[in-house]
């Protein structure tokens, strides 16, 4: 593994571990998805073995399976509709703490858990912090409506691409049984407006734009040295 890859792993681990260290005894946790969150789970598993009492609501099969392997007790939104703290990753974070999520196709459950939680802690590495969101925006769509939704997405000014599976022929099927379309925009100048427009298309389940949680969001930007913490108090008006 080269130095850049090692530095990236160190940054993700540092962010994940710091998020897990924010967890207090008795908390109900939202557990996001992705490689950075897995480091938070690794650290949480150690703390649970040391006596920390928590229960986590997983946002994907990946997270549920890993939490099970790590001995982290799980629960559901039915049992615990208001998690104390949600730990999740992101694909990009802008200077207003708007997020693009969904590379792992878990965006719908992630948004449900983020919306339900009292606090949202986002764990990223430095490369994901940007001035303007520019990554493709993942959108979860029910298969029944894929054709008309693609046309509507094009009319919003993007190039929509149906995401293909890896080690599976054909499209990715989400944990909810739907398709994912990645929408390449030429920069997202008004993420909130775009999130609303996407939500208004019949057949769209959710988009990977997360613009409504900025007030309760803390971003932990991992690096090899000290992690940087960003909250809504740091947003320049």
Catalytic residue numbers, as ranges = 110
140 - beta bridge partners? Answer: 180, 206
Smallest separation (angstroms) from ligand 5RP to the CB of 99: 8
Cα–Cα dist 178/222, whole Å: 32
By CB under 6 A, residue 36 contacts ligand 5RP? yes
Q: Which is nearer to ligand 5RP, 147 or 168 (CB)?
A: 168
Residue 64 as a binder of ligand 5RP (CB under 6 A): the answer is: no
In the complex, minimum distance from the CB of residue 51 to ligand 5RP, in angstroms, rounded to a whole number: 28
Query: Smallest distance, Å, CB 161 to ligand 5RP?
Result: 16
Site membership for ligand 5RP, residue 58 (CB under 6 A): no
Q: Is 35 exposed, middle or buried (0-12, 13-18, 19+ CB in 10 A)?
A: middle
Q: How many residues bind ligand 5RP (CB under 6 A)?
A: 17
One DSSP character per residue, 199-232 reads HTSTTEEEESEE-S-GGGEEEEEE-SSPPEEEEG
Block residue for tokens 């740091």: 234
Closest CA to 99 of 230, 209, 226: 209
Binders of ligand 5RP among residues 90 to 129 (CB under 6 A) are 90-91, 101-107, 110
- Which tokens belong to 61? 């099969």
Question: Looking at beta carbons only, is 36 or 218 nearer to ligand 5RP?
Answer: 36
Query: Cα(133)–Cα(208) distance, rounded to whole angstroms?
Result: 12
Dist. CA 73–CA 115, nearest whole Å: 21
Segment interacting with ligand 5RP (CB under 6 A) among 29-37, 48-56, 64-72, 162-170:
29-37
Minimum CB distance to ligand 5RP, residue 237 (Å): 28
d(CA 201, CA 95): 27
Q: How far is the CB of 26 from ligand 5RP (least distance, A)?
A: 25
Which C-beta is closer to ligand 5RP: that of 155 or that of 229? 229
88 scored as a contact of ligand 5RP (CB under 6 A)? yes
DSSP state of 160: E
The residue ranges that bind ligand 5RP (CB under 6 A) are 32-36, 88-91, 101-107, 110
């Amino acid at each position: 593994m080269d130095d850049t890859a090692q530095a990236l792993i160190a940054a993700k681990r540092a962010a994940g571990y710091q998020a897990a260290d924010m967890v207090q005894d008795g908390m109900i946790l939202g557990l996001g998805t992705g490689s950075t969150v897995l480091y938070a789970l690794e650290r949480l598993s150690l703390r649970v073995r040391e006596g920390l009492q928590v229960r986590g609501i997983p946002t994907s099969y990946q997270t549920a399976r890993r939490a099970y392997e790590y001995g982290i007790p799980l629960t559901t939104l039915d049992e615990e509709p208001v998690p104390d703290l949600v730990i999740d990753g992101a694909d990009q974070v802008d200077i207003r703490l708007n997020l693009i999520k969904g590379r792992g196709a878990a965006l719908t459950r992630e948004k449900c858990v983020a919306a339900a939680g009292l606090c949202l802690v986002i764990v990223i590495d430095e490369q994901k912090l940007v001035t303007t969101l520019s990554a493709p925006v993942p959108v979860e769509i029910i298969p029944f409506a894929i054709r008309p939704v693609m046309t509507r997405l094009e009319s919003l000014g993007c190039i929509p691409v149906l995401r293909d599976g890896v080690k599976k022929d054909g499209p990715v099927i989400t944990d909810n049984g739907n398709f994912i379309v990645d929408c390449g925009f030429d920069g997202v100048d008004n993420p909130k407006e775009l999130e609303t427009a996407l939500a208004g298309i019949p057949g769209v389940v959710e988009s990977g734009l997360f613009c409504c949680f900025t007030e309760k969001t803390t971003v932990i930007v991992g690096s090899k040295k000290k992690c940087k913490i960003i909250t809504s108090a740091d947003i320049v008006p």
